[in-house]
Amino acid sequence: MTDTPADTELGLEAGDVAPSVQERKLVSEFAADKADYYSDTFVHLQQNRLSATHINRSALIAGPFWGARRGNWTHFWIALLLDISGLMLMARGLFADPDKSGEFNLLWGIGVFICGRLLTARFADQLYYKQYQNWRINRAVNAGISSARVQMGIALILAIGPMLIYRATQIAPTLRECRRMWRAMGRGDEVGAVDRFNCWVIGEVPIGKNIQQPVAGGINDLIDWMTITFVTFFDAITIGIRGVLNLLELIFVGTPWPVMAFMLVLIAWRTAGKNVAIFTALALFYLGMFGFWQKAMSTLSLVGAATLICVLLGVPIGIWCAKSPRIYAFIRPVLDIMQTLPSFVYLIPAIAFFGVGKPPGILATVIFALPPMVRLTVLGITQVPESVKEAALAFGATPRQLLWKVELPLAVTSIMTGINQTIMMSLSMVVVAALIAAKGLGEDVLFALQHVEHGLGLLAGAAIALCAMIMDRIVQGARKPDNS
């Protein structure tokens, strides 16, 4: 685990500036061993002249132990992860499936192990140089060599490695199998030590009683109670959304197609220019030729309703969060959850409280597409320069005037970006919302998936993409100050 003598033979090439005496002293104090090698290596790194084939041979041989000995835990964990990954594949190839893909796993594991060692050895000196730079700023950073750190590294490897490698050779028992084994142990039947270990360590978390069903039942009871208790509130929301949707469908679906096509091309030309107008005309021609016109207009109505609700909710919430860091600290985790949940999960509350159809589909889309509207509104408001706000206040602007005449106009670019992102995310929910009878182009994609109609699915998918591109280009054009 010590640095090999070959490491000290790096040397300086012609044109390199040799490290000063003071620099060598600092490196010697930092490295504590093989200071000449690391002094020369750090010079190469400073001058961006380190060879692409250069490797740290000590790191190549010792692997994660080199990182532990040098106190570079970034290298330690990366090297340990790659080493164990290779060993797990080799163990699986040798013991788990020798008759199936064992040879492939064995060779793949050897390749991962060797390539991992070469990769970590190649970048070991870069990581060590970064550690050296941090040490020069803060002497509390790990420096020198330490047997205590090596012992800690060994303890971590022994705590993690054997269990992971053993897991790679075993088939994890199911929770039902483990419960059957625990019942057998309760009756006094003999159970093998390996089976007991597998159930306690590599299977599911060993819980003695299934608590999933009672908790899920409690949630169901709560939702049923809320549905009955707040039925008037939910009906009012449904009626409001239905009213907005009917208005948009009257505009998009009820308008004769020549008039609507002309209006969309005209809007594209006035907001984004001639090229976007031509593209819009070609995209609308595609929708008409393949029989997607009515469903495309219905989709635009759904997206328009969802976007309108997102703007009406997102902009005020964003302004509130920008003005109150405490409120934003509370709302930010909620936005994180809304952005990370799988899209299908949004359908559950929509169905539970509003049933099926277009209004619950719009609500699920709103939940999915609202976070970027809020975040980008907050970003736009908070990025208004303090000097501009101070100047407005100095001229006697009230807080309301400051918001409406200074902050919002300067934040409009960020807010328009939020609208753009909301539209794109709303369109991405079209297919998912079709699962609860939201209609539109997503219905054709869903039908194609259910009946293995590859051609129809691709054509409908292209139609959704064209709708997204039309709206994206128009909104982007509206963000530009001069669209002539």
Q: What domains sit in the chain, N to C, each tagged with a CATH number? A: 5-168 (no CATH), 231-479 (1.10.3720.10)
Average pLDDT, the chain: 87
Q: How far apart are CA 270 and CA 265, in angstroms?
A: 9
Confidence of residue 2 (pLDDT cuts 50, 70, 90): very low
Higher pLDDT, residue 248 or 435: 248
- The pLDDT score that the predictor gives to residue 24 is 85
- The pLDDT score that the predictor gives to residue 5 is 43
- The pLDDT score that the predictor gives to residue 185 is 81
Residue 431 has pLDDT above 80, yes or no: no
Q: Which of 172-176, 208-212, 383-387 reaches the highest mean pLDDT?
A: 383-387
* Mean predicted confidence (pLDDT) in 460-472: 89
The answer to whether the CB of 55 falls within 8 A of the CB of 82 is no
C-alpha dist (Å) from residue 135 to 18, 24, 35, 141, 168: 21, 15, 15, 5, 39
- The pLDDT score that the predictor gives to residue 56 is 94
Residue 14 has pLDDT above 50, yes or no: no
Q: Which residues contact 399 (CB under 8 A, 6 or more apart)?
A: none
Number of H helices, E strands in the chain: 23, 0
Q: Which residue in 478, 129, 426, 460 sits closest to 302, CA to CA?
A: 426
Task: Please calculate the CA angle 249-251-255 and round it to the nearest 5 degrees.
Answer: 105
Residue 54 has pLDDT above 60, yes or no: yes
- The pLDDT score that the predictor gives to residue 343 is 78
Q: How far apart are CA 244 and CA 469, in angstroms?
A: 24
Dump pLDDT digits (tens) for 392-415: 888 888 888 888 989 999 999 899
Q: Which of 8-17, 84-93, 112-121, 220-229 reaches the highest mean pLDDT?
A: 112-121
- The pLDDT score that the predictor gives to residue 198 is 83
* Mean predicted confidence (pLDDT) in 424-435: 84
- The pLDDT score that the predictor gives to residue 474 is 87
Q: Which residue in 318, 310, 482 sits closest to 403, CA to CA?
A: 318
Dump pLDDT digits (tens) for 342-381: 878 888 888 888 888 888 888 888 988 999 999 999 999 9
Confidence of residue 8 (pLDDT cuts 50, 70, 90): very low
- The pLDDT score that the predictor gives to residue 480 is 63
Dump pLDDT digits (tens) for 195-236: 888 888 887 777 756 777 888 889 999 999 998 999 899 999
**Is the pTM higher than 0.75?**
no
Dump pLDDT digits (tens) for 126-162: 999 999 999 999 999 999 998 899 999 999 999 999 9
Confidence of residue 427 (pLDDT cuts 50, 70, 90): confident
Q: Cβ of 407: how many Cβ atoms within 10 Å? A: 23
What one-character DSSP code corresponds to residue 15? T
Residue 255 has pLDDT above 80, yes or no: yes
